[in-house]
Structure formats: structure tokens, C-alpha cells
Structure 1
Amino acid sequence: MARPRTPALSQKQYENLASFRFALRQFLRFSENAAQAAGVTPQQHQALLAIKGFPGRSRVTVGELAARLQTAHHSTVGLVDRLVTEKLVKREASKEDRRQVFVLLTRQGEKLLEALSSAHHEELRRVGPEIQELLGRLGGEGDE
């Protein structure tokens, strides 16, 4: 069965997509630099944030963390190993099922994440209005 043909994009839509991609990349570059300045890799920072920001609880399984980071399970195990070595997270066996292991932040991990998150929050305050405007344009406003 043939797919329905999508209408061609206008020049303005291409410009909006490019501007949005540029704004996102600028924020990601800020994030990468902030993580490195704090002494962690961008992926380690993302892992700390994914653990702290997990819906409904402050600990995750390696599988849940892998899903949040969109990485392979074995890669996530290596990442957690490095975070444990850096004393930023610890592993804790489930009380209900000893086969299940959770990963949670240490006090040191909490402090590091707090500093990084504050810096990110400030950067989002600065660039947020531009990103919101671009999102509005991508959603159909000002496409013509």
C-alpha cells in the first residue's frame, strides 16, 4: 500500500526547522560544556538527571535508566559502574526482590546535579522565549 504523499515544505518551514535545530544545538552545547566544567561527561549528567527526575520515585533500575537514556543495557551498566566509582550514585538491592537492583544518587551526586540543574534552569530562562517562539512557528503559526 502506497503512503500518502506529504505536501512539500515551504522555504519558511525549512527556515523554522533550521532555526529550531540551531537553538536546540546551542542549548545542548551549553549543557555539554557545563557538564564537562563540573567534571562529568554529558552522558553522566544525563544519567543523574534521569535518576533524579524519574516519575514517582528517586531510584531506577538499570533497565529503566537505559530506556530514559536511549542506550543499550550493557552500555548503561558501564555508565553506572563509572558513576559508582565517582561516588555519584550507588546501587541498592530491592527489599521486595533481591534480584532487582536500583540505582540512586549519593549526596555528592545530588549536590553536583543541583549545581548543574541551576545553571541549566538559568540558561533555559534566557533561551526559553526564543525556543517557545520557534515551537509556535513549527506548529503551524507563521509557516507562510
Structure 2
Amino acid sequence: MSHDPLSKRRLKIWIRLLGVTRTAEGALREFLRLGHDTTLPRFDVLAALYRRRDGVTMSELSRMLLVSNGNATTVVDRLEKDGLVRRTQSDSDRRTVFVALTPEGLAQFEGLAAEHEAQVNALFSGLTEADLDTLTDILKRMGGPK
């Protein structure tokens, strides 16, 4: 048992952060499912490939998304079937497969990303610029993404 007087408050903040995250993620899943007939994992794969336009190996993609190779493969299979990504084998190692966005995948992601950003903006519209600065500072001190 902790004797730190802030321990209970820190636990409550963790629960609140988790709740906010889950609520926002749920809203984004619904937005993608209902508004675009897609899923958050598909969006995440497209976003990762958008950041690395030259393509990545399946292993790199799995690491970027913090998912198993099997999960990444399942999503990539569907995206490839839909013509949004393409796989190519490495010239130097036939076991290595690269995946990248197709032109159609790039165009579709750019439109979807703009709407996703607008949705996130709406979800957090109650935060002022000062709130965002404070929250960014706090999360950085906690070790969150820069």
C-alpha cells in the first residue's frame, strides 16, 4: 500500500485518461464504420504507409503499429484486395515483402485523413489553445509521444 498522498489522485487520473481515450476511440471507430465503411485497423495501416511512401516490410509495418505480423497481414490482404495497397518482393531476399500505398490508396487515405482530423477536432473542441499547451506539456512530462 502506498503512503504517497497523491497516489489515489494519480490512480483516478489514469482511469480518467483511459476513459477519455476509450470514448474518443469508440467515436472514431463508429465514424469510420458508419461514414466510410472501414475500420480503425485499416485506417492505421493506411496512415502508417502514408508516412512511409516508399513502402515498408511487413515486419516493419507490424512494429510501427504494435501488432502481430498475422494481424497486419490480415488487414493488408484486405487492402490489397481492395486495390489500396500493393505488395512487392525484395529483389535481394525473396522472403522479404514490401507493402506500399497504390495511387488509389493514397487518394482515398488523404480524403479520409482530412475527415478523421475534423472528427478528432470536433471531439476535442472544448479544449482551448491554453488547454492544449498545458495538456501537451503534462503528457510530455509523463513520457507520452512528443
Q: Extract unaligned runs of 5+ from structure 1.
A: none
Q: Is the 8 A contact 1:34 1:116 kept in 2?
A: no
Residue equivalent to 1:117: 113
CA distance in 1, matches of 2:108, 2:10: 39
Q: Which runs of at least 4 in structure 1 moved beyond 6 Å after TM superposition? A: none
Q: How far did 1:72 drift?
A: 1.8
- Quote the RMSD (CA, aligned, Å): 2.9
| TM-score normalised by the chain length of structure 1 | 0.72
Residue equivalent to 2:54: 58
CA distance in 1, matches of 2:108, 2:54: 16
Residue equivalent to 1:21: 18
- Give the number of aligned pairs: 134
Code of the residue aligned with 1:79 in structure 2: it is: V
Code of the residue aligned with 1:46 in structure 2: it is: D
Counterpart selection for 2:66 from 63, 70, 75: 70
Structure 1 counterpart SS, 2:43: helix
| TM-score normalised by the chain length of structure 2 | 0.71
Alignment deviations for residues 74-110 of structure 1 (CA, whole Å, 9 cap, x no partner): 2322221111111111112334544422101112211
The alpha-carbon distance between structure 1 residues 122 and 20, as it changes in their structure 2 partners (threshold 3 A), is same
CA distance in 2, matches of 1:96, 1:21: 44
CA distance in 2, matches of 1:13, 1:73: 35
Percent same amino acid at aligned positions? Answer: 25
CA distance in 2, matches of 1:8, 1:135: 25
Q: Does 2:100 align with 1:104?
A: yes
The alpha-carbon distance between structure 1 residues 16 and 133, as it changes in their structure 2 partners (threshold 3 A), is farther
